[in-house]
Amino acid sequence: MLTVRELTKRYGDRTVVDGLTFTVEPGRVTGFLGPNGAGKSTTMRVLLGLAAPTSGEALVDGRPYRDLDRPALRVGALLSTGSAHPGRTARAHLRAKAVGTGVPRSRVEEVLEQVGLSDAADRRVGGYSLGMRQRLGVADALLGDPGVLVFDEPVNGLDLDGVRWMRALVRRMADEGRTVFVSSHLMSEMEAVADHLVVIGRGRLIVDAPLTEVIGAWSRTHVEVRTPDPGTLRERLERRGPAVRVEDGPGLLRVFGAPAAEVGDLAYEAGVRVHGLLTREASLEQAYLELTGEAVEYGSTGGAR
Query: Which residues in this chain contact ligand ATP in the complex, by CB under 6 A?
Result: 11, 16, 34, 36-42, 185
Query: What secondary structure letter does DSSP report for 80?
Result: T
**Strand 179-184 to strand 14-24: parallel, antiparallel, or no bridges (unpaired)?**
unpaired
**Strand 179-184 to strand 148-152: parallel, antiparallel, or no bridges (unpaired)?**
parallel
Provide the minimum distance between the beta carbon of 28 and ligand ATP in the complex, in angstroms, as a whole number.
21
Closest CB to ligand ATP among residues 178, 185: 185
Q: With contact defined as beta carbons under 8 Å apart, do 105 and 133 qualify? A: no
Provide the minimum distance between the beta carbon of 185 and ligand ATP in the complex, in angstroms, as a whole number.
5
* Pick from 270, 304, 54, 299: nearest CA to 201: 299
Closest CB to ligand ATP among residues 38, 77: 38
Provide the minimum distance between the beta carbon of 97 and ligand ATP in the complex, in angstroms, as a whole number.
25
Mark 116-143 as b/e (b = at least 16 C-beta within 10 Å). ebeebbeeebeebeebbbbbbbbbbbbb
Provide the minimum distance between the beta carbon of 248 and ligand ATP in the complex, in angstroms, as a whole number.
26
Rounded distance between C-alpha atoms, residue 5 and residue 150, angstroms? 17
Helices within the chain (DSSP H only) = 40-47, 90-101, 106-114, 130-142, 160-175, 187-193, 211-218, 230-240, 260-270, 284-301
Closest CB to ligand ATP among residues 133, 220: 133
Closest CB to ligand ATP among residues 56, 116: 56
Query: What secondary structure letter does DSSP report for 85?
Result: -
Provide the minimum distance between the beta carbon of 207 and ligand ATP in the complex, in angstroms, as a whole number.
15
Provide the minimum distance between the beta carbon of 33 and ligand ATP in the complex, in angstroms, as a whole number.
9
> In this structure, how many other beta carbons lie within 10 angstroms of the beta carbon of residue 113?
12
Provide the minimum distance between the beta carbon of 37 and ligand ATP in the complex, in angstroms, as a whole number.
4
Closest CB to ligand ATP among residues 15, 101: 15
Closest CB to ligand ATP among residues 274, 289: 289
Closest CB to ligand ATP among residues 12, 100: 12
- The amino acid sitting at 143 is L
Provide the minimum distance between the beta carbon of 51 and ligand ATP in the complex, in angstroms, as a whole number.
7
**Strand 28-33 to strand 196-201: parallel, antiparallel, or no bridges (unpaired)?**
parallel
Closest CB to ligand ATP among residues 34, 71: 34
* Pick from 76, 61, 81, 43: nearest CA to 1: 61
Query: ∠ at Cα 13 (8, 14), nearest 5°?
Result: 60
